[in-house]
Structure 1
Amino acid sequence: MTQGATDLLLNLVAGVALLLWGVRMVRTGMTRAFGAQLRRLLGRAMQNRFRAFAAGIGVTALLQSSTATGMIVASFAGRGLIFGPAAIAVLLGAGIGTSISAQYLSLDLHWLGPACIILGVTGFFAAEGGLPRHGGRLLIGLGLMLLALEMIINASAPMRDAPELAALLQPLERAPLLAVLIFALLTWLSHASLATVLIAASLARAGTIDGALAVALVVGANIGTAISPLVAASGQPPAARRAQLANLIARVIGTLAVLPFLHQLPGWLSVFGDDGARLVVNAHTAFNIALAAVFLPLVRPLDALTRRLLPDPPVTDLAARPRYLDKAALDTPGVALAAAARETLRMSDIVSRMLDETMTVFTRDDAKLAKAVEHSDDDVDRLHEAIKLYLTELSKHELDEGESRRYVDVLTFTTNLEHIGDIIDKNLMELAQKKIKNKLAFSSEGLAELTGIHRRVATNLQMACNLFMAGDVKLARQLLQEKASLRAAEQQAAENHYQRIREGRTETIETSAIHLDVIRDLKRINSHLTAVAYPILEQCGELTATRLRADERAARSLLPGKGNTGLA
């Protein structure tokens, strides 16, 4: 290949890459600026198929990505927030939404690209965050898309008569099914059917491909756009994948219906404009309108078919399976952080139950319950891992200052809950098993002290969860005061325990090590809980470098006398 041909090919590939990046910037700008509102719009529109269909058109036209809409639908369906027929209707509308975007982007708007970039860069750098910055990102992406389309057109026009290109395209013109499969694969890999349709439009405008091949590429892009969300939802429950499968089935049937008429369709569509680019975007629009007209009345039979192909699994213990970690929300950090926080509360419920059952194990010597508590820690570990991986994915997106702070808060509280689960599993349950095995019993006074400290820690756990969600400064102060008060109670309990030993109480002597270790572990649990208060008070300027000494003085002031010996 000559140097000139190499340069042209390089420019063509660069134009395609820039187009994909522009589509991504438009999508991320839109989701960060209006993602929560768009999700609410979809959620409210699920009452019937026609409203869902209209919502699919509108949301996809704004997001410029039917794949993004498909992932949102999958997350809603997986959580039972949308039923199958309505979900299929949304995806049928999403195809028309991309057609609308392709229609206006295929117009001769050479002046609009530079204008969007200038306005977008100005808005992006002028704003430190929020809607203006995200709007600037959206405009930059739109400008890059328009400039990329011009690059593709300019690069592909001289290649029209190149012998290398003729040798490459000739097999595709004779084997339209191969062309369909190649473009379906490209669309799936790029996750952007709009981009691949616009590439086909640019090649057709330059005369690089003929009308029949252009239509074949369009239907291939429509299959690829149905594969992307189905693959993305592969790890989710069957309910989350059924609508995606129904959408793919509809598009494959539509493709099989179109293939015999590939050479006639360009002539039929020429009445709407004989320009190559117009032919491609009109074929894309007509294909999706035809799909909607045929399959919108058939969404219930399609849903029934996918239920047979993807049945619900047998009911099992789902405690450790995340419910709220919505991957479709990762482009909207505020929504994703709320989902992670909600999943963290689920994790806290399991930890709270473990903590409650801990004292039952000690008072009733219930070895079976002890094993159940240990098993619950496995659920806590799995949820912690899922939340951590979800937040890791979120960290790859740009977060503003408030989102970054909340990210750290969620990750820290989740980690502290996991540590509490480990303390209960590996320490407290081991002590309980030791007590059961040796048939030991606490003294009545000792059991009352342990029960009192346990009750206060359990209350602090609920307070910490409320503080984690509300971020209330007054509640944070109260939690830290409880830390100092509990430390005083722990030291008093230790002193009382030593006094009973000096009195020669048999039960106290036999259970001394277990008794003191239980108090120590409850204190450690409480320390993990109160950690949630420090960032809130620090942000308000209520913490100083001497806060630890102040805590110690506060704890000593609550003791009945000097010289009491606490636990290390």
Structure 2
Amino acid sequence: MVKVLLTTFGGLGMFILGMKMMTEGLQMTAGKRIKAILSAVSSNRVIGCLTGTVVTAMVQSSSATTVMLIGFVTAGLMTLQQAVGMILGANIGTTVTAQLIAFKLTSLALPAIALGVVLKYFTQQKKTRYIGEVILGFGMLFYGMTVMKHGLSPIKSDPAFLDFFTKFDPSSVGGLLLCVVVGAALTIMVQSSSATIGLTMTLAGQGLLTFPGAMALVLGENIGTTITAELATIGSNNINAHRAARAHTMFNVLGVTLMLCIFPLFVKLVETVTLGMGAGPVDQVVGDDVVNIARYIANGHTMFNVINASFFLLVLPWLIKVAILLSPKESEEIDYYRLPNFGDRLIDTPIAAIVETRSEILRMSETARYMFRKTVKRLTDRDYKKLAKWRQIENHLDDMQREIMAYLTRIYQSDVSESEAKEISSLMRMTNNIERVGDSVENIAQALEDMLESDLTFTESAQNDLNQLVEKVGAFVDLVTSAMRQLPSNFMTQADIIENTIDAMREKFRDDHIQRLRSCECGLDQGLIYVNLLTNLEKIGDYCFNIAEAVAGKK
């Protein structure tokens, strides 16, 4: 008994490790392609669904795709409807793993492990090592299936085990619900629907599960996989992220519920289609194995998700409306004082972790913009009480910088591709320069405090010059913040023009100020504050240009 459990769970562990290794290797090799595909996403729901299918087939993980999409929605890089359409496709794409397992490529497992080890550990090029990781993961996945099969073999004739597995009989309502609940619980525990489907195929292949019982477990496994997306929203105050996760859960739960209502018809449909594709009978036994059942389970898994996605694509607007009703209510104000809550949930998925970090950097930029606008407004209304709030925001920007930089460092220390390493470097540059914008706004606020406390005023021409420079710098801050959401085609041209304009304005206004000093139009105290304001406004322009280069991928 102990040996059976150790062998079976050891094989399952090897399967999960192989699946994880293969997924990570695919993400490393396909990272650029994934971003290119996602950046070209269409508002057409059918094309979005197909895009989600392709991306998930490339990375072999619907959970990774879903978490990435939630991150994109959080960052404002795509709409909720686009994300939900792609999540429907992700559920189809993840069935590729089951189809791959059904091909029974176990004879290639050991050669794949040998080749994968050579490529991953004995080659120099990163790309080759990632390909080796994919091959090694592929081999371990199938070898894990073989180990599970050998582990379960001794119990096929054990009356106690046979009696246990007879409980998974979907011919009764109780048995059907038991299969669904167990399938969902297993997937929640191992955090991989592919692993639990692989275990289901192995049990069925050993004759311990009937085909209807296996399909009921698979339906439950589709519910269990939604937990990953729900976990990805923990700590997130972004309403659209919650809505996307809720839509994903509803899609699977309602789809399974509808399928259970016509379960015998669905099972019959899968059997008919699979027989029509040239497969042998579902219950055909060769030796001690039920040889064709894995193909039937894989086809059933794919057909369920295709039918489910097709139905919900038709009613997508209503699905989103219900998801909105089931999600927290949207706040009208941005939470400027909330610190990032990254945790460990995405650290093993660099693509998703980078997307999540980018959304927090965007929020940090919006906080800096808010601080800038609130501070420079005191130039005209001279409201000393409102000016006092800058310290709280500046301290918060410092805290955000520490959290984001610490998380980016953790991602960088994991196994990332060259393109991801470059992107992390750009994100660090953006974060540091946003914090420097906050420092310059702090200097402006302190100068304004001194000015208001001493009841000093500028000449009309000096005030007009400052207002012009503030407007131009504010436009630059707005430009780089909006570019973090969607990069304009002529972005760097605009950034160059604004940066040069700010530099020229600062030189001209400083020369004009010197003339006013010579003609005694301006006092010394006002003059020192004025020059301080010009200098810090020009510095904000410099920092914005640095951010622009990072956003555009120049540095």
1:33 is matched with which residue? 29
The aligned amino acid for 2:306 is A
Mapped pair 1:271 → 2:268: no
Measured after TM superposition, the shift of residue 280 of structure 1 is 4.5
Mapped pair 1:206 → 2:220: no
Change in CA separation of 1:393 and 1:184 when aligned onto 2, cut-off 3 Å: farther
Decide which moves more: 111-120 or 206-215.
206-215
- C-alpha deviations, 1:249-283, integer Å up to 9, x for none? 33332452256689989987773563646324413
Mapped pair 1:241 → 2:245: yes
1:429 is matched with which residue? 445
The separation in 2 between residues aligned to 1:513 and 1:54, in whole angstroms, is: 62
The separation in 1 between residues aligned to 2:77 and 2:475, in whole angstroms, is: 33
Decide which moves more: 250-259 or 267-276.
267-276
Decide which moves more: 209-218 or 88-97.
88-97
**Which protein has greater RCO, CA pairs closer than 8 Å, 6+ apart?**
2
1:220 is matched with which residue? 220
Measured after TM superposition, the shift of residue 142 of structure 1 is 0.7
Measured after TM superposition, the shift of residue 208 of structure 1 is 3.6
Q: Equivalences for 1:515-534 in 2 at 5 Å?
A: none
The separation in 2 between residues aligned to 1:194 and 1:25, in whole angstroms, is: 13
- C-alpha deviations, 1:26-81, integer Å up to 9, x for none? 11111221133234435646454444444444433332222233334444555373
The counterpart of 2:307, out of the listed 265, 289, 293, is 293
The separation in 2 between residues aligned to 1:446 and 1:277, in whole angstroms, is: 86
The counterpart of 2:7, out of the listed 11, 20, 41, is 11
The aligned amino acid for 1:144 is M
The aligned amino acid for 1:61 is A
Measured after TM superposition, the shift of residue 157 of structure 1 is 0.9
The aligned amino acid for 1:296 is S
- C-alpha deviations, 1:439-496, integer Å up to 9, x for none? 234699999999999999999999999xx999x9xx99xx9xx99xx9xx99x9xx99
The aligned amino acid for 2:110 is P
Q: Equivalences for 1:469-508 in 2 at 5 Å?
A: none
* Mapped contact 2:183–2:220 kept (Cα < 8 A): yes
Change in CA separation of 1:100 and 1:26 when aligned onto 2, cut-off 3 Å: same
The aligned amino acid for 1:199 is L
Mapped pair 1:144 → 2:140: yes
- C-alpha deviations, 1:317-342, integer Å up to 9, x for none? 3374999x9x9997775786588568
2:189 is matched with which residue? 189
Percent identity of paired positions between Structure 1 and Structure 2: 22
- C-alpha deviations, 1:216-235, integer Å up to 9, x for none? 32222122123432443453
Q: Equivalences for 1:111-130 in 2 at 5 Å?
A: 111-125=107-121, 127-130=123-126
1:439 is matched with which residue? 455
Mapped pair 1:283 → 2:297: yes
The counterpart of 2:333, out of the listed 303, 313, 317, is 317
Mapped pair 1:160 → 2:174: no
SS in 1 for 2:225: helix
Change in CA separation of 1:322 and 1:52 when aligned onto 2, cut-off 3 Å: farther
- C-alpha deviations, 1:396-435, integer Å up to 9, x for none? 631256744653553355145325415634x542442343
The separation in 1 between residues aligned to 2:364 and 2:133, in whole angstroms, is: 36
Measured after TM superposition, the shift of residue 244 of structure 1 is 0.6
Measured after TM superposition, the shift of residue 88 of structure 1 is 5.4
* Mapped contact 2:444–2:536 kept (Cα < 8 A): yes
Mapped pair 1:417 → 2:434: yes
The separation in 2 between residues aligned to 1:519 and 1:309, in whole angstroms, is: 49
* Mapped contact 1:246–1:302 kept (Cα < 8 A): no
The separation in 2 between residues aligned to 1:138 and 1:415, in whole angstroms, is: 36
Measured after TM superposition, the shift of residue 102 of structure 1 is 1.5
Change in CA separation of 1:356 and 1:108 when aligned onto 2, cut-off 3 Å: closer
Structure 2: unaligned runs, 5 residues or longer: 275-279
* Mapped contact 2:451–2:529 kept (Cα < 8 A): yes
Measured after TM superposition, the shift of residue 106 of structure 1 is 2.8
Measured after TM superposition, the shift of residue 197 of structure 1 is 0.7
The separation in 1 between residues aligned to 2:476 and 2:71, in whole angstroms, is: 34
The separation in 2 between residues aligned to 1:162 and 1:118, in whole angstroms, is: 36
SS in 1 for 2:131: helix
The separation in 2 between residues aligned to 1:292 and 1:464, in whole angstroms, is: 41
The separation in 2 between residues aligned to 1:309 and 1:154, in whole angstroms, is: 44
The separation in 2 between residues aligned to 1:460 and 1:226, in whole angstroms, is: 41
Decide which moves more: 512-521 or 105-114.
512-521
Decide which moves more: 138-147 or 53-62.
53-62
SS in 2 for 1:271: coil
Measured after TM superposition, the shift of residue 98 of structure 1 is 3.5
Measured after TM superposition, the shift of residue 154 of structure 1 is 1.0
Q: Equivalences for 1:80-95 in 2 at 5 Å?
A: 81=78, 84=81, 90-95=86-91
Decide which moves more: 277-286 or 507-516.
507-516
The separation in 2 between residues aligned to 1:201 and 1:257, in whole angstroms, is: 24
Q: TM-score, normalized by length of structure 1?
A: 0.69
- Alignment coverage as a number of residue pairs: 517
Change in CA separation of 1:384 and 1:307 when aligned onto 2, cut-off 3 Å: farther
The separation in 1 between residues aligned to 2:183 and 2:339, in whole angstroms, is: 35
SS in 1 for 2:105: coil
The separation in 2 between residues aligned to 1:54 and 1:352, in whole angstroms, is: 38
Q: TM-score, normalized by length of structure 2?
A: 0.70
* Mapped contact 1:42–1:52 kept (Cα < 8 A): no
The separation in 1 between residues aligned to 2:107 and 2:452, in whole angstroms, is: 81
1:251 is matched with which residue? 255
Change in CA separation of 1:76 and 1:253 when aligned onto 2, cut-off 3 Å: farther
The separation in 2 between residues aligned to 1:94 and 1:335, in whole angstroms, is: 15
* Mapped contact 1:227–1:248 kept (Cα < 8 A): no
* Mapped contact 1:157–1:207 kept (Cα < 8 A): no
The separation in 2 between residues aligned to 1:363 and 1:309, in whole angstroms, is: 45
* Mapped contact 2:456–2:526 kept (Cα < 8 A): yes
Change in CA separation of 1:87 and 1:258 when aligned onto 2, cut-off 3 Å: farther
The aligned amino acid for 2:55 is V
Mapped pair 1:60 → 2:61: no
Change in CA separation of 1:354 and 1:65 when aligned onto 2, cut-off 3 Å: closer
The aligned amino acid for 2:139 is G
Q: Equivalences for 1:63-74 in 2 at 5 Å?
A: 63-74=59-70
The aligned amino acid for 2:106 is H
* Mapped contact 2:223–2:252 kept (Cα < 8 A): yes
Alpha-carbon RMSD: 5.6
The separation in 1 between residues aligned to 2:339 and 2:41, in whole angstroms, is: 26
Change in CA separation of 1:525 and 1:204 when aligned onto 2, cut-off 3 Å: same
The separation in 1 between residues aligned to 2:4 and 2:233, in whole angstroms, is: 38
- C-alpha deviations, 1:190-224, integer Å up to 9, x for none? 33212111111112222344444323322221221
The separation in 2 between residues aligned to 1:392 and 1:223, in whole angstroms, is: 34
* Mapped contact 1:66–1:193 kept (Cα < 8 A): no
* Mapped contact 2:364–2:397 kept (Cα < 8 A): yes
The separation in 2 between residues aligned to 1:155 and 1:46, in whole angstroms, is: 47
